[in-house]
Amino acid sequence: MKLLKFYILIFFSYTLSAQYFTNYLEVDGLLDNSVNCVSVDADDHVWFGTNSGVAFFDGFTWESYTTDDGLVDNVLRLFIPQVMVPYG
């Protein structure tokens, strides 16, 4: 039984160590280092609601939306990307 627990522990520690995370900051294109909410749309684009507006990341480039672009407030705490359609 102890050997089985050991193998399970080894398996899960290997599985967890294979996950990678990328940190994004203002210097990378994020509007604010304080992120209140994160959402992924149907096209796998990531939307970040911050204290300075909404940041959109498609995996390569950043776009930002603030009150200058028509947002009612720059502070977003909940974001549903299907409601907002970026103008191209």
Q: What is the mean pLDDT of residues 71-86?
A: 65
> Are 73 and 67 within 8 A, CB to CB?
yes
Task: Inform me whether the pLDDT recorded for 83 exceeds 70.
Answer: no
Beta strands across the sheet bearing 53-57: 35-40, 46-50, 53-57, 62-65
Considering the entire predicted model, what is its pTM? 0.65
Return the higher-pLDDT residue of 58 and 87.
58
pLDDT tens by residue, 8-66:
655 556 555 556 678 888 998 888 888 888 888 888 888 888 888 888 898 899 999 98
